């Protein structure tokens, strides 16, 4: 369902003549749909995408309809994450999660 919402937003942005205010609540950002894998937690995703583990609540707030309890995410869930337009992966998330033994 979240992937569908992201695709609708994406198609709206590129197919309709709308200004940035109508399309995105966060100018200078774009959406990444992250599918949760085993061992991941919101603070790890915040460190990876937002470069600050303490901003886990941002990811929670963007996905409150999917995440029923704080930091209780499950493999297979699709989460919407807003990242800066120039965001690049700071490291390999899968390797990091494996390295810390999760």
Mean pLDDT, the chain, rounded, equals 81
Residue 89, pLDDT score: 93
3-state secondary structure of 83: strand
Residue 80, pLDDT score: 95
Give the tens place of pLDDT for each residue, 17-51.
Answer: 333 333 355 788 899 999 999 999 999 999 999 99
Query: Residue holding tokens 């807003």?
Result: 82
Question: Any residues with CB less than 8 A from the CB of 99 and at least 6 apart, and which?
Answer: none
- Ranges of beta strands (E only) in the chain are 29-35, 78-84
pLDDT band at 4 (very low <50, low <70, confident <90, very high): low
> For residue 30, what are the β-bridge partners?
83
Task: Give the other-Cβ count within 10 Å of 40's Cβ.
Answer: 22
pLDDT band at 6 (very low <50, low <70, confident <90, very high): low
């Amino acid at each position: 369902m979240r992937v569908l919402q992201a695709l609708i937003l994406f198609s709206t942005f590129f197919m309709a003549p709308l200004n940035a205010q109508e399309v995105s609540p966060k100018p200078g950002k774009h959406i990444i749909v992250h599918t949760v894998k085993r061992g991941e937690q919101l603070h790890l995703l915040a460190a990876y995408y937002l470069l600050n583990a303490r901003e886990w609540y941002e990811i929670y707030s963007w996905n409150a309809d999917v995440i029923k309890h704080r930091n209780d995410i499950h493999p297979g869930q699709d989460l919407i994450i807003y990242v800066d337009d120039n965001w690049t992966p700071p490291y390999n998330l899968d390797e990091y999660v494996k390295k810390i033994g999760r």
